[in-house]
Structure 1
């Protein structure tokens, strides 16, 4: 490993981020003396902040609203970053390498919950997480994905991605009669409350729910879902962080950490602490 030892998560707002707890717990377990801090950086300040980093910096985690800016700044992109147009991880070095670990984080969250074979899916919302959800569902085997969003036109930007993945994308109103699907991914903003007469029919035929929001928990939607079939967004936060740590350690999000299962358990406990 190089002498680069500084890491951080950037975004705006950033005070709520649990990334420092997750990352620092892992680095203590692995036995590397790296720092990891939070820094509030807005979209307009991103380029200058990135340019100010010296050779002691190893990498960055990016949250909203910086994922598109990080995508544009990266000199190399992994497949998931290229498909989604979003980068949540930058590895600094001879070149600026951009990765999207949110996709893998969603896949790992489903897999950890025992959901490994998906054919049909429904995505609620078409915001920033929706592209990563679409790619993750394709990686899990989905060939048909229905979107329900308050602004159906927002789904249009995802059609080229669906076409590239070979996924049949359809749209429906929230009030439309819902068909059975294997899984539902909710990407609605944290705190969104769907009327019960809209949410309950979706819960009845929605299969396993992955709720991207995790604070407060349970979300209003998760509270209406059969609890045996609900995955919290904390699981994505955890597993995407594991993939970031793989990148910072080895330059590859597929390269597992030594005794990774133990490290994941330690990170989970650290991330749940107030």
Structure 2
């Protein structure tokens, strides 16, 4: 019987996860198939109810990383403290099905930043307040900064992220993005978790400056490629890595969790390059 896995979210047709996972399964010689399913919040419970015995794992993207918690039997410690699950392992013992949630976004961020030469952080900035922002806080804490700056479009929408920060034991300082965007210019590490084009106004501001940037930027958006933010950043000398690198590394961690096999990173990287 062919084993199944899939990425769920809304919208989902743009996802590159099927390319990454299927290339890994094929290279490993596994009889697995990876699909994508458009599933919104109110459709999640119904979709989970349809999963048959051939299902082995799920990848989750917007808007399901918080929604999935109520359906899980177990949650790993990192997913618990970040409040964000992007990976579900499906296991069966007889007729009993067990769903275990995990977070590989943190590892994806750490590994992507390493590609830009950022293996430590002391003055870091996170832009955004969604599920990926909580993973960014955890990643930056691993790199050494437990007191980052967080720039958000509205302070009224930071309650969930503040709670996650408290669980992690980090103490970020929150500012309104429009008032404090310049803080990214002196940061040694910046992680923008904003959706595509939402960071374009920041890029426009940066483009007007005649300074040199020394920090590393991860822009989790990868459509368009390059983004306006990464273009502006590199023009001023900054090092950057875009969202498809985070996607690659978090997917490799997912493959390991779901299959128990070491992910063939080089194969997945080549498949990603071919798809872009």
TM-score relative to the length of structure 2: 0.87
Query: Residues 99-118 of structure 1 correspond to what in structure 2 (within 5 A)?
Result: 99-118=102-121
Match of 1:253 in 2: none
1:151 aligns with 2:157: no
Is the CA contact 2:141–2:170 (under 8 Å) kept in the aligned structure 1? Answer: yes
Q: Give, in whole Å, the separation in 1 of the partners of 2:216 and 2:167.
A: 25
1:46 matched to 2:16? The reply is no
Segments of 5+ residues of structure 1 without an aligned counterpart are 251-255
Alignment partners' CA distance in 1, 2:174 and 2:60 = 30
**Structure-1 separation of matches of 2:168 and 2:206:** 29
Report if the CA contact (8 A) 1:183-1:206 is conserved.
no
Higher mean alpha-carbon deviation, 227-236 vs 155-164, is at 155-164
Q: In the alignment, what sits opposite 2:226?
A: 218
**Which position in structure 2 is the counterpart of 1:30?**
28
The residue aligned with 2:186 is 180
Q: Counterpart in 1 of 2:267?
A: 266
Mark the CA change 1:67 to 1:160 in structure 2 (over 3 Å): closer, same or farther: closer
The structural deviation recorded for 1:213 is 0.3
SS of equivalent to 1:209: strand
Aligned partners of 1:71 and 1:81 also within 8 Å: no
Within-5 A mapping of 1:1-274: 5-94=3-92, 95-173=98-176, 174-176=178-180, 177-178=182-183, 180-192=186-198, 193-195=200-202, 198-200=205-207, 207-226=215-234, 229-250=239-260, 257=262, 260=263, 263-274=264-275
How many residues of Structure 1 are paired with residues of Structure 2 in the alignment?
263
What is the CA deviation profile of residues 172-204 of structure 1, one whole-angstrom value per residue up to 9, with x for unaligned ones? 233335273220111112112115564356x85
Query: Partner residue of 2:95?
Result: none
Question: Residues 211 and 197 from structure 1, CA distance in 2 versus in 1: closer, same or farther, beyond 3 angstroms?
Answer: closer
Task: Give the Å deviation of 1:13.
Answer: 1.1
Cα distance in structure 2, aligned partners of 1:196 and 1:22: 29
Q: Structure 2: 5+ residue runs without aligned partners?
A: 93-97
Aligned CA distance change for structure 1 residues 188 and 22 (closer, same or farther; 3 Å) = same
Segment drifting more, 98-107 vs 61-70: 61-70
Moved more, 221-230 or 153-162: 153-162
Kindly indicate whether the alpha-carbon contact (under 8 Å) linking 2:106 and 2:135 is maintained by their aligned counterparts in 1.
yes
The answer as to whether partners of 1:124 and 1:185 remain within 8 angstroms in 2 is yes
1:228 Cα deviation (Å)? 5.3
Aligned Cα root-mean-square deviation (Å)? 2.2
Contact 2:121 2:145 in 1 (8 A): yes
